[in-house]
Structure 1
Amino acid sequence: MPIYKKYPDKLLLDLLKEDDQQAYTVIFNRYCKLLINHAYKILQNQDEANDIVQEVFLAIWNKRNELNIKGSLSSYLYKATKNRILNHIAHEKVVSRYAESISNFTENNYAFADANQREEELSLMIAKEIESLPDKMREIFVLRKIDHFSYDEIANQLNISDKTAKQQVYNALKKIRAKINPFLIVLMFRF
């Protein structure tokens, strides 16, 4: 792999399109910290910055055969990161507005018990979805999101790489969100 470190981005991209994992690793190592720092400056949250950049690199790996990057790889990565950040912020604003509407609703003495019931339904649904995850994925997800272990701690405890831990958490969140989002939309319109 030391020879790969000397390769220009263009050659690494060509190798990546041919499923070359070493090329991917060099790209990851070359840009990961820079992108995390960039994301952190905007988000002011290290875990969110890490997750955003992880999603960017996961998307690059998953779409490696379809990548059609015009311009420099660094520009593409910064733009992809910026777009993920903007999507994240937009999602957070929607969640915040939803939480605020629930708060206003309950402050005005409207069916407080009904809101509690919906919150309980959502909690049960989330718990059910977590329980339905594959064993290893569930274990990693619980360590990260419930027990608040760092990715390094999870990697050390389970004897896996931190990249594997991040990937498993990302996959778990994707599965859970896919099941929960329709329920949240229904909740929003029931108020």
Structure 2
Amino acid sequence: MASFHVIPDQELLIRLQKGDHAAFTKLYNKYWENLLSIAWNHTKDKCTAEDIVHEVFMALLREKNNFDILSVGAFLATKIKFAVFKHYRKQQRRERLAKTNLTFEKVSLDEEKLDALFLKEYIDGIIETLPEKCKMTFKYSRYAGLKNNEIAAKLSISEKGVEANLTRALKIIKHHLETSGLALILSAELLKRYNL
């Protein structure tokens, strides 16, 4: 009886970067169903969801050497959410072209709100992967608006520890934004709003 050998994702990524299409197939088979579910939950349309999943896997294959991937599942889920976001933006642009009575200011405001909503959802996803104290420090600072000394008291760490955790969280978030290309897409003003 042959033993079933599970190949770790990191090894599959290395093989994929060397051009091993079997590694790509294994990653696809492992993640496609979960990714389809995420895309469908956002779009409620099977064909659109399938197109988005296909697009994300093709991007992984095309740009396999351009990504610094720590977790394949988290990376692909984030790419799905970004692809859904792009789909909605494209759909909204089509709708706006059909409606001539919208003012430029209204269109700009709607796009900015959509950007802000997506950025918050994207950053929330990154934050959930941070080490616990780092995650709590960021949430207390950016979402609860607490000062460093208040955060230090809540987490029983020094103010320098708070600063170190904030610096680490911001560095990780910025890295994700840069490697995903979002730092180029989202406006500097919007990033500033989140103190990034």
TM-score computed with the length of structure 1 as normaliser: 0.49
Would you tell me which structure has more helix in proportion to its own residues? 1
TM-score computed with the length of structure 2 as normaliser: 0.48
Structure ranking higher on relative contact order (CA contacts 8 Å, 6+ apart): 1
